[in-house]
Amino acid sequence: MANGKTWHEKHTESRTFGSRLADSVASGMGSWKFIIIQTALVVLWMGLNLIGLIYHWDAYPFILLNLLFSTQAAYAAPIIMMSQNRQNERDRLHAEEDYKTNIAAKKEIEALTKILNKLEVDKLDKIIAMLEELKTPVKD
């Protein structure tokens, strides 16, 4: 690379705040830690509302909890899609860089093959010349 940076470093540096945020949210929501914490909060929410002796802020059938989940899903889906789109773009750039590398490697291999073929032809020419010298009778 001309400036010493890999395609991955260039891509990482070019990410916007929104891209970094989308990746962070998608990474967080796609983890076991998130699932476990959310499950614990839901169980706590339901437990406090079912057995709460004094105050039920979201009585059964937990309409407020459903609203919170709907709101979370409404925001999470597009954010995760943004992260996936960015990942697709990263994969596309990676594939393009791989293609360029493969083309360069192919050209180098073709050049080396030509050199090796030339060396082989030169060796064969020398061997043929040596054999012809052996075939010609030596004159006294």
120: how many CB neighbours lie within 10 A of its CB? 10
Burial class (CB in 10 A: 0-12, 13-18, 19+), 62: middle
1 band by pLDDT with thresholds 50, 70 and 90: very low
- Which tens digit of pLDDT belongs to each residue from 53-107? 677 888 888 999 999 999 999 999 999 999 888 889 889 988 999 999 999 999 9
Tokens representing 89 are 């773009």
In angstroms, rounded to a whole number, what is the distance separating the alpha carbons of residues 85 and 79?
A: 10
Non-local CB neighbours of 59 within 8 Å, separated by 6+ positions? 49
Instruction: Give, in degrees to the nearest 5, the angle at Cα 117 between 112 and 123.
Output: 125
Find the DSSP H helices in the chain. Answer: 7-13, 17-29, 32-51, 63-135
- Mean pLDDT (whole number) for 104-124: 94
Question: What's the pTM?
Answer: 0.60
Q: Is the previous residue joined to 78 through a cis bond, with omega within 30 degrees of 0? A: no
Cα angle for residues 135, 137, 138 (degrees, 5° grid): 125
